[in-house]
Amino acid sequence: YGHTSMIEELLVESNREYGELADPEGRIKELDAIWIGEDEEQAEALVSTVTENQVSEDLRSSLDKLREIAGYQVFGEVFLTTRHGAVVASSGRTEDFEQSDEPWWKNAMARKLWVEDGGLDESANIEAIDICTRIDDQEGRELGVFKVVMNIREVYEIIDSHAVTGRGDQGL
């Protein structure tokens, strides 16, 4: 999903806009302060630019279809950042706007793929793992990071089914 033309176009345009600024990191920090700040009206205006664009709507639609097919919430959260770490599309409101200070983001940018240890995702209230992948253009230039918080319920169900049926010795 991270390599669709719609995603690439959004990242190229967003990276161009930040790249034209004298201090893109400074601007992202200003936007982060608004995102998490006390002025809820100002924060909501910024959040809506991220959560109500075409890519975000497509993400939510895809997640809804997966939930319908699986019968449970497959992904707790899905979002996309620029190469500067600014959130540009999201299935919902993230905790903050700036992601470049997060270890998972740094690891994904450096390694192209990063999978975090599993645990409880408190915002979605699911046991999950974070899968983070760097998105590059066809020439290999870094465009941003795509992060999904994936429910590991099915993994538990597979393990439980083998334990209940006594087939644990047959391997997974």
- The predicted structure's pLDDT at residue 129: 93
What is the block-wise mean pLDDT of the chain (172 residues), using blocks of 10 residues? 83 97 97 96 97 96 94 92 98 96 97 92 84 95 96 81 61 48
On whether the CB atoms of residues 18 and 84 are closer than 8 A, the answer is: yes
- The predicted structure's pLDDT at residue 1: 64
Tokens of 96: 């903050």
On whether the CB atoms of residues 117 and 78 are closer than 8 A, the answer is: no
CA distance 153 to 24: 39
- The predicted structure's pLDDT at residue 142: 97
* Identity of the amino acid at 67: R
- The predicted structure's pLDDT at residue 172: 46
pTM of this structure: 0.87
CA distance 114 to 109: 9
- The predicted structure's pLDDT at residue 110: 98
- The predicted structure's pLDDT at residue 3: 63
